[in-house]
Amino acid sequence: MEPPEPAPDVDVLVVGAGITGIYQLYRALEEGFTACLLEAGDGVGGTWYWNRYPGAQFDSESYTYGYLFSKELYDDWEWHEHFAHQPEIERYLNHVVDRFDLRRHIRFDALVTAAVYDESSGTWAVVATDGTELRTRFLIAATGVLSVPHFPDVPGREDFRGEQHHTGLWPNTPVDFAGKRVAVIGTGSSGVQIIPVIAAEVAELTVYQRTANWCTPLNNAPITPGQQARLRAEFEGMREVLNTSQSGFLHPPHDRAAFDDSKEERRAFFEKMWNSPGFSKLTSNYTDLLFDGAANAEWCSFVAEKIRGIVEDPEIAEQLIPEDHRFGEHRPPFVTGYFETYNRPNVSLVDLRETPILRMTETGIETANGLRELDVIVWATGFDFGTGALRRMGIRGRDSIALEDHWADGPTTFLGVQTTGFPNFFFPGGPHAAAGNNPRYNGDQVDFVTNTLVHVRDHGYDTIEVEPDAEMRWTSMVDKWATMPPSFGEKSYYFGSNIPGKPRRYLLNAGGRPKLFKEVARVRDNDYEAFRLSRSP
Ligand SMILES: Cc1cc2nc3c(=O)[nH]c(=O)nc-3n(C[C@H](O)[C@H](O)[C@H](O)COP(=O)(O)OP(=O)(O)OC[C@H]3O[C@@H](n4cnc5c(N)ncnc54)[C@H](O)[C@@H]3O)c2cc1C
């Protein structure tokens, strides 16, 4: 007689307690599945749990980032700033977890190190560092695209005897900067947030910059009582816009191209953009900003002029103006008082293209210009974007194929949620997912995954696996899109280019939400023909 097949302990196992995983857990329970969530950290929040560095905050408007699935939740939470800071965001996500009684389904300090598919039963055996060993029917990795901090390979990094912290692994007790000699390495989105906040506190701040970025003002402000009232009154309209817009923001698209306007009109419009909130410089700017090099150059020269107007030392100003990429080619950082920081006498800038770091010593950082002694080093050097967490989870699918081998040339996916050879495994919010306001995309994917699981269950199936031609169709669309305007090449981390040896392959959702919606509708209308559904023997 055949030995009995191992029975799953849960229907759905979610990995990761960020904004995506929390919603996935909620939706799975709501649909009547038994579910459990494993999280490596000892609290919820994902990005907003790990990135607790001074100045960490939203670049998306708070009320457009938060959940929209419950009007009651929306009504009982009041954001204080248009772009909330990390403590408020972490509080919000904890509030959501408690409000919907999700915490009892979450195990913390549980880093998943192995997840192995068992073909005979169509289940996954999952192992985590807290001793968890669980068998699940469906495995859903909501492990984030920016959740594995990256340290550049600098000789002697372990030798430094002072304190060093990565912005994405920040301690949850305050770091004391007062009177210290501090270095910040990296001027991407995190670096430019922390630099102005700590500059006044430290004795000396040295900024090590490899790539100057096109930083523009965030233009944050407290939400006034009048605005709060409007946000309450206009919830349904706002939700409609956010649930359907191309990039998941409220910002209305512009209707003119750059050279439809006269020079004077263009200048006035750019001034308006400069003073507009967050990502609207990208989403509400001229329609050809990302498609026409000349239009992009006009905006860049306007921003460069602004930088020259703020930074008093002309040499430093020039160093802060990007020369190697156009606006939008890298993820644009948004700032508050960033350029002004370089006017402080205790702040200096080291251009790593001119003087690269040679090594770290016990006391500081050495470049060709000598050793700079330091007390604290802040690594604002980014993440292994897109696939970092998934490649480190010990995932093995059919025939024991490891996910990292299956994706040796970069990820192949269908809708950014499934890949062939890994039945009953989904990864909402992973590669090929986002291209805008993240929770809106990731939420769309969670809804799709949940509806798919319901379809599988209600039709009496046990396993679901994407068909190779559906995966090829979606992946080719992404790869093809990545070579066309508005893509500018492979320099940004969107292509994995910050990680040595990583295949250069586009990691975002290329077609934006409209493509995702279209394909989701096609799956539904064609009775899930993009997937192979089967029953256990
Ligand atoms: C500093 C910063 C600011 C940002 N600002 C914005 C913004 O303003 N707007 C925007 O749209 N996006 C922003 N992002 C992107 C942000 O990552 C997403 O908005 C969102 O937080 C992603 O949520 P998530 O749940 O998919 O992933 P995450 O929030 O990254 O959560 C993933 C979780 O999975 C856990 N995990 C990973 N691997 C394992 C494992 N093997 N076992 C167990 N647990 C595991 C991690 O510990 C983490 O808690 C920002 C990112 C950073 C780093």
Taking the C-alpha atoms of residue 217 and residue 224, their distance in angstroms, rounded to an integer, is: 20
Task: Look at residue 486 in the predicted model and tell me its pLDDT.
Answer: 58
Q: Which atom of ligand 1 is nearest to the CA of 21?
A: 25
Task: Look at residue 485 in the predicted model and tell me its pLDDT.
Answer: 63
Q: Please give the single-letter amino acid code of residue 268.
A: A
Task: Look at residue 489 in the predicted model and tell me its pLDDT.
Answer: 61
Nearest to 383 by CA among 497, 273, 270: 497
CB 265 within 8 A of CB 257: no
φ, ψ (nearest 5 deg) of residue 89: -70, -40
Q: Is the CB–ligand 1 distance for residue 146 below 6 Å? A: yes
Taking the C-alpha atoms of residue 207 and residue 185, their distance in angstroms, rounded to an integer, is: 6
CA–centroid distance, 296 to ligand 1, in Å, is 30
Q: Which atom of ligand 1 is nearest to the CA of 167?
A: 1
Q: Is the CB–ligand 1 distance for residue 58 below 6 Å? A: yes
Residue with tokens 């910050």: 498
Nearest to 185 by CA among 145, 218, 153: 153
CA–centroid distance, 159 to ligand 1, in Å, is 30
Contacts of residue 465, Cβ cutoff 8 Å, sequence gap at least 6: 418, 420, 421, 422, 423, 424, 531, 532
Q: Which atom of ligand 1 is nearest to the CA of 113?
A: 41
Q: Is the CB–ligand 1 distance for residue 60 below 6 Å? A: yes
To 10 degrees, what angle do helices 19-30 and 86-99 make?
Answer: 10
Residue nearest to atom 26 of ligand 1 (CA): 144
Nearest to 357 by CA among 502, 175, 153: 153
Residue-by-residue pLDDT tens, the chain, 537 positions? 555 567 899 999 999 999 999 999 999 999 999 999 999 999 999 999 999 999 999 999 999 999 999 999 999 999 999 999 999 999 999 999 999 999 999 999 999 999 999 999 999 999 999 999 999 999 999 999 999 999 999 999 999 999 999 999 999 999 999 999 999 999 999 999 999 999 999 999 999 999 999 999 999 999 999 999 999 999 999 999 998 888 899 999 999 999 999 999 999 999 999 999 999 999 999 999 988 999 999 999 999 999 999 999 999 999 999 998 999 888 899 999 999 999 999 999 999 999 999 999 999 999 999 999 999 999 999 999 889 999 999 999 999 999 999 999 999 999 999 999 999 999 999 998 777 899 998 999 999 999 999 999 999 999 999 999 999 999 988 888 777 665 556 667 777 777 777 877 777 777 778 888 888 999 999 999 999 999 876
φ, ψ (nearest 5 deg) of residue 465: -145, 135
CB 432 within 8 A of CB 508: yes
Residue nearest to atom 16 of ligand 1 (CA): 47
Q: Which atom of ligand 1 is nearest to the CA of 393?
A: 41
Q: Is the CB–ligand 1 distance for residue 195 below 6 Å? A: no
Nearest to 280 by CA among 313, 306, 249, 323: 249
Q: Is the CB–ligand 1 distance for residue 376 below 6 Å? A: no
Q: Is the CB–ligand 1 distance for residue 190 below 6 Å? A: yes
CA–centroid distance, 429 to ligand 1, in Å, is 9
438, 445, 498, 509: residue to mutate for ligand 1 pocket, most atoms within 8 A of CB: 438
Q: Is the CB–ligand 1 distance for residue 184 below 6 Å? A: no
Taking the C-alpha atoms of residue 194 and residue 4, their distance in angstroms, rounded to an integer, is: 56
Task: Look at residue 500 in the predicted model and tell me its pLDDT.
Answer: 79
CA–centroid distance, 302 to ligand 1, in Å, is 33
Q: Which atom of ligand 1 is nearest to the CA of 278?
A: 8
CA–centroid distance, 278 to ligand 1, in Å, is 19
Helix, strand, coil percent content, the chain, rounded in steps of 5: 35, 20, 45
Q: Is the CB–ligand 1 distance for residue 18 below 6 Å? A: yes
Terminal-residue alpha carbon distance, the chain? 14
Q: What is the pTM of this model?
A: 0.96
Taking the C-alpha atoms of residue 272 and residue 267, their distance in angstroms, rounded to an integer, is: 9
47, 65, 166: residue to mutate for ligand 1 pocket, most atoms within 8 A of CB: 47
CB 404 within 8 A of CB 391: yes
CA–centroid distance, 383 to ligand 1, in Å, is 11
Q: Is the CB–ligand 1 distance for residue 428 below 6 Å? A: no
Q: Is the CB–ligand 1 distance for residue 38 below 6 Å? A: yes
Q: Which atom of ligand 1 is nearest to the CA of 144?
A: 27
CB 56 within 8 A of CB 81: no
